[in-house]
């Protein structure tokens, strides 16, 4: 009888992170300043500890995971790989479906995988406080947890609409000792300027990043931590793909197609990078990022140099972008609303090594509900994107009468995001194709470098 769960022991927790940089077809484009000159790694010292800066630019393929980080990870890892037997039956598909479930972490998503590593390297560097931003609340709660584990204070700038709509996310961060500030706030120059322009500014992820970076850059005892996009974050998440490969090997299986939700790219990198060497060696495997059609960064954005935040405090990175001044449509409930994407994921997508699809939000929540009714777990709205992608693959297999093996990342559970499901059940969600003229307009506001 096929089993629902494939489990690894704690001793099988990976010992190294996999760094994709030495295996890229060409070196990544350097981060640059507004003058177009490359930003030297030392310039990041104002906000990141040396261990993290090293990883951001490392050429080493395998980087050892420090023992205290492995111990922290072992609280919830290795995470289970599930065979979605009930969903397969419900869909009547000949395909096999596997999902790696990252919702078993204390904060309910994959994000603590990087949060504990970042907290560790900051503690090692003598840093006392971390600042960060959070939108839906997953990253903020993960960093609050990690800060608690490694003895650091954590201040979280939370996008104001989310702060008001998700009081329990705030309680969660406070339970782990985090301090939560609605953004824009009057604690930073960026926040004050935004409030002066519009006192009712609902906030955005880009704006909250600007506030957190501004504070960290201005205080010696404080650093900044980012939950996605940057190379070191994707590096930390590669334990997901490594564990998945080890678990699949136990049952003698291998995927034909791998899907992950894509906002800033840490699930995509974390799950897919460990499969790239096999693909380069000739394995016939498709790697597909799934994003919302209302924030279609990879499928419709420009591959260009852009800022990582709305105020232009961060270095300029070559990435797929909708423009750093992108504001997600108010109707969008499914997360994954960042304007850009990881430079590494962008580069691999540009080369055709990774694929991407955009899915409309009603169908996305429909897939989440279908999944919950078959498998029990209620997916986070972000995770519903990869569920949608996987169900579409399984239905195509059924139509074509083909057996194939589908693997996806179920990046978290949705227990704190039921308001989004409420909107879906109440019929309040609309599908929204991000307008082409807004995408063209974004081109005009990109920094004029590196072209
Ligand atoms: C943050 C988050 C995502 C999106 O981030 P990526 O870096 O693109 O993976 C997806 N799912 C969950 C549950 C998240 O918390």
Q: Which atom of ligand 1 is nearest to the CA of 108?
A: 13
Nearest CA to ligand 1 atom 5: 263
Lowest mean pLDDT among 133-137, 366-370, 377-381: 133-137
Cα 361 to ligand 1 centre (Å): 16
Average confidence (pLDDT) over 98-120:
98
Nearest CA to ligand 1 atom 4: 263
Which residues, judged by CB distance below 6 Å to any ligand atom, belong to the binding site of ligand 1?
109, 111, 138, 228, 261-267, 336, 380, 382-383, 411-412
Angstrom distances, CA of residue 197 to CA of 192, 211, 319? 9, 16, 29
CA of 289 to the centre of ligand 1 (A): 12
* Three-class HEC string of 158-183: EEHHHHHHCHHHHHHHHHCCCEEEEE
In the structure encoding, which two tokens stand for residue 72, read together? 């922290």
**Any idea which of 119-128, 201-210, 262-271, 276-285 has the lowest mean pLDDT?**
201-210
Cα 148 to Cα 174, 337, 416, distances in angstroms: 11, 28, 21
CA gap 142, 139 in Å, rounded? 5
Look at residue 438 in the predicted model and tell me its pLDDT. Answer: 84
Lookup: tokens for 241: 């793909």
Among 411, 413, 415, 417, which is best to mutate for testing ligand 1, by the most ligand atoms less than 8 A from CB? 411
Using one digit for the tens of pLDDT, what is the confidence trace for 426-441?
Answer: 999 999 888 888 888 8
Rounded to an integer, the average pLDDT of 249-277 is 97
User: What average pLDDT does the segment 349-353 reach?
Assistant: 97
Nearest atom within ligand 1 for CA of residue 142: 15
The CA distance from 322 to 264, in Å, is: 12
* Of the candidate ranges 62-66, 95-99, 447-451, the one whose mean pLDDT is the lowest: 447-451
Residue 290 to residue 268: CA distance in whole angstroms: 9
pLDDT at 328 over 80: no
Percent of residues, the chain, with pLDDT higher than 90: 86
Distance between Cα 137 and ligand 1 center (Å):
11
| Residue listed under structure tokens 């700038």 | 157
User: Which of 336, 408, 416 for mutating ligand 1's site (highest number of atoms within 8 Å of CB)?
Assistant: 336
pLDDT, the chain, mean: 95
* 52-69 confidence digits (pLDDT tens): 999 999 999 999 999 999
Contact 105, 138 (CB under 8 A): no
End-to-end CA, the chain: 57
Fold of 67-108+232-445: Rossmann fold (3.40.50)
How many other C-beta atoms lie within 10 A of the C-beta of residue 405?
18
| Probe target for ligand 1 pocket from 104, 264, 272, 381, with the most ligand atoms within 8 Å of CB | 264
All residues at 6 or more sequence positions from 352 whose CB lies less than 8 Å from its CB, including other chains: none
CA 382-61-7 angle, to 5 degrees, is: 50
Per-residue pLDDT, 432: 86
Q: Which atom of ligand 1 is closest in space to residue 111's alpha carbon? A: 15
Residue whose CB lies within 8 A of the most ligand 1 atoms, among 79, 107, 111, for a mutation test: 111
Examine the pLDDT at 215 and tell me if it is beyond 70. yes
Q: How far apart are CA 105 and CA 126, in angstroms?
A: 27
For strand 179-183 and strand 153-159, is the pairing parallel, antiparallel, or unpaired?
Answer: parallel
CA of 401 to the centre of ligand 1 (A): 33
The closest residue, in CA terms, to atom 10 on ligand 1 is: 382
* 170-184, 319-333, 406-420: least confident range: 319-333
Asked if the model's pLDDT at residue 95 lies above 70, the reply is yes
Confidence of residue 451 (pLDDT cuts 50, 70, 90): low
Please tell me the predicted confidence (pLDDT) of residue 165: 86
Per-residue pLDDT for 329 more than 80? no
């Amino acid at each position: 009888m096929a089993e629902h769960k494939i489990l690894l022991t704690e001793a099988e927790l990976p010992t190294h992170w996999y760094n994709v940089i030495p295996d890229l077809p060409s070196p990544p484009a350097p981060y640059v300043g507004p003058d177009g000159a490359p930003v030297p790694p030392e310039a990041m010292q104002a906000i990141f500890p040396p261990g993290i800066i090293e990883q951001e630019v490392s050429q080493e393929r395998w980087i050892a995971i420090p023992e205290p980080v492995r111990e922290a990870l072992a609280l919830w890892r290795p995470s289970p790989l599930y065979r979605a037997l009930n969903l397969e039956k419900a869909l009547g598909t000949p395909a096999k479906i596997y999902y790696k479930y990252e919702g078993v972490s204390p904060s309910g998503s994959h994000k603590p995988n990087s949060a504990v590593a970042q907290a560790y390297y900051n503690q090692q560097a003598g840093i006392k406080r971390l600042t960060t931003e959070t939108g839906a609340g997953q990253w903020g709660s993960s960093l609050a947890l990690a800060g608690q584990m490694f003895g650091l204070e954590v201040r979280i700038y939370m996008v104001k609409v989310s702060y008001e709509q998700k009081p329990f996310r705030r309680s969660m961060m406070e339970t782990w000792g985090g301090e939560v500030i609605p953004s824009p706030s009057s604690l930073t120059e960026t926040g004050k300027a935004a409030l002066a322009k519009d006192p009712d500014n609902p906030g955005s992820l880009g704006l909250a990043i600007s506030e957190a970076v501004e504070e960290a850059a201005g205080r010696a005892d404080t650093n900044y931590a980012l939950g996605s996009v940057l190379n070191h974050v994707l590096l930390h998440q590669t334990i997901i793909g490594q564990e998945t490969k080890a678990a699949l090997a136990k049952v003698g299986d291998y995927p034909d197609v791998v899907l992950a939700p894509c906002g800033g790219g840490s699930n995509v990198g974390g799950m897919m990078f460990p499969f790239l060497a096999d693909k380069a060696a000739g394995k016939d495997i498709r790697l597909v990022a799934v994003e919302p059609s209302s924030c279609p960064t990879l499928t419709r954005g420009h591959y260009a140099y852009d800022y990582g935040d709305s105020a232009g405090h961060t270095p300029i990175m070559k990435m797929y972008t909708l423009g750093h001044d992108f504001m997600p449509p108010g109707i969008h409930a499914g997360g994954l609303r960042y304007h850009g994407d990881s430079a590494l994921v962008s580069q691999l997508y540009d080369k055709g090594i990774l694929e991407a699809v955009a899915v409309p939000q009603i169908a996305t929540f429909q897939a989440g509900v279908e999944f919950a009714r078959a498998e029990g777990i209620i997916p986070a709205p972000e995770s519903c994107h990869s569920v949608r992608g996987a169900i579409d693959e399984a239905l195509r297999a059924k139509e074509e009468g083909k057996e194939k093996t589908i693997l996806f990342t179920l990046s978290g559970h949705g227990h704190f995001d039921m308001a989004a499901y409420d909107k879906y059940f109440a019929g309040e969600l609309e599908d929204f194709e991000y307008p082409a003229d807004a995408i063209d307009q974004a081109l005009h506001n990109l920094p004029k470098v590196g072209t």
